[in-house]
């Protein structure tokens, strides 16, 4: 009797899940959002903590030197720590390091849309989720200049000749200065395979 009840209960549960694909899709989306939030926060904490430490120890020059030598490597490390089904990267239309420019047309399109929203005084969303195909999602975390310290390297740097020379030498195609508070800087993209 117990076995029959368990089988019937299992069959009924399976039927309910199959009969309600919307609920299943919502659960999958919730999982994607959770993974995207955790992954993007891990990258922000890793890079932000290191930047803060270097900024405190040696000011904007130390922070810039840290970024030049370590930011890309740390981003890769965070990505590899997340496992085979999750990757993370930073993208920007106004990049400093060409490795952080938007890698795909779709990612560029998302950044341009976010910029248009901001230009029209629309509050940016905390995140966006794109379903790339039936098994892959992209979670976009918009990054804005929200701390004054960010402007030391990304604002008007003309008053810091050493920093300006360093950035010019190491990033001859730099597009990442001239920002003001709350400007859109770029995004973190977390690609999640289900």
Q: Residue 96 and residue 175: Cα distance in Å, rounded? A: 6
Apex 101 CA angle, 41 and 180, nearest 5:
70
Domain containing 115: what range? 22-193
The confidence score (pLDDT) of residue 21 equals 58
**Do residues 63 and 53 lie in contact, with contact meaning Cβ atoms separated by under 8 Å?**
no
**How far is the first Cα of the chain from the last one, in angstroms, to the nearest whole number?**
37
Mean of per-residue pLDDT scores for the chain: 88
Query: Residue 14 falls within a domain, yes or no?
Result: no
Asked, for residue 2, whether it belongs to a domain, the answer is no
The answer as to whether 116 is a domain residue is yes
What is the rounded average pLDDT of the residues 73-79? 92
Place of tokens 């299992």: 10
pLDDT range class, residue 9, cuts 50, 70, 90: very low
Asked whether the beta carbons of 143 and 184 are under 8 A apart, the reply is yes
For residue 3, being part of any structural domain is answered with: no
Residue 8 maps to a domain: no
139 within domain boundaries: yes
Q: Label residue 194 by pLDDT band (50, 70, 90).
A: confident
β partners of residue 184 = 144
Residue 13, in any domain of the structure: no
Q: How far apart are CA 191 and CA 110, in angstroms?
A: 14
Spatial distance between the Cα atoms of 7 and 1, rounded to a whole number of angstroms: 10
> Would you say 96 and 175 are in contact if contact means Cβ atoms under 8 Å apart?
yes
- The answer to whether residue 149 is domain-embedded is yes
**Percent over 70 (pLDDT), the chain:** 88
pLDDT score, position 5? 40
Q: What is the DSSP letter of 121?
A: T
Q: How many domains does the chain have?
A: 1
- Quote the DSSP letter at residue 178: S
Distance CA 152, CA 52 (A): 12
């Amino acid at each position: 009797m117990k076995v029959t009840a368990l089988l019937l209960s299992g069959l009924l549960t399976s039927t309910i899940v199959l009969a309600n694909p919307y609920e299943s899709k919502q659960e999958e989306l919730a999982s994607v959002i959770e993974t995207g939030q955790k992954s993007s926060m891990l990258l922000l904490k890793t890079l932000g903590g290191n930047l803060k430490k270097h900024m405190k120890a040696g000011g904007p020059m130390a922070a810039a030197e840290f970024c030049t030598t370590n930011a890309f490597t740390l981003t890769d490390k965070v990505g590899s720590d997340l496992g085979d089904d999750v990757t993370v990267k930073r993208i920007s239309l106004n990049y400093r390091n060409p490795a952080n420019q938007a890698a795909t047309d779709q990612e560029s399109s998302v950044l341009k849309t976010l910029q248009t929203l901001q230009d029209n005084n629309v509050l940016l969303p905390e995140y966006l989720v794109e379903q790339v195909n039936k098994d892959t999602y992209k979670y976009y975390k918009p990054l804005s200049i929200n701390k004054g310290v960010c402007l030391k390297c990304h604002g008007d740097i003309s008053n810091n000749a050493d920093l300006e020379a360093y950035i010019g030498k190491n990033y001859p195609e730099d597009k990442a200065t001239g920002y003001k508070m709350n400007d859109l800087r770029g995004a973190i993209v977390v690609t999640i395979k289900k």
